[in-house]
Amino acid sequence: MPRVPTTKEVVPGAPVNIVLKADQPTGRTVSGTIAAVLTRGNHPRGIKVRLTDGRVGRVQSMGMGGNSQPAATATEGQWTRRGDPPGAEVPSSNVGLDAYVVNARPRQNRRNERRDEHQDEPKEEGPTVTCPVCGDFEGDETAVAHHVAGHFAD
């Protein structure tokens, strides 16, 4: 297991390589400059720090003085979004949230297709029948049979 830097080396302004919390399973490191040290002492997995661009992670190694590439330079003062390529344009602030909403794709399974086909067509109902017992109820043959059975139920 490689040695992680100690509190003597990890000081604000130092260039470092850190692993973000989301990247811990993969071990992917990002480089930047320390803005604040968040862990009081040494830690076996690395001292937790906040970089100048706001990202937080554990220090895995010290970065090179001239080659450190923070995700956002201090002069820009802007946050970057994870997954954006370097130099990607930030979306305009006048774009509404509806521009980011994606409509769901229509489902394409066989059951729904059959249901949709039959919903547009009017249902063919049998002839309307009147209750022979009371003469008030009207409906299809099945409904009237059920209604008539209700007349003779105990």
- What average pLDDT does the chain have? 77
Confidence (pLDDT) at 110: 63
pLDDT digits (tens, 9 = 90+) for 30-77: 999 999 999 889 999 999 999 999 999 999 999 886 444 444 333 344
What CA dihedral angle connects 82, 17, 58 and 1, to 10 degrees?
Answer: 130
| Residues 6+ away with beta carbon under 8 Å from 89 | none
The reported pTM is: 0.42
pLDDT digits (tens, 9 = 90+) for 88-110: 565 556 667 677 777 777 666 66
Fold assignment, 1-70 = SH3 type barrels. (2.30.30)
Domain ranges of the chain: 1-70, 126-154
* Residue 140 scores a pLDDT above 80: yes
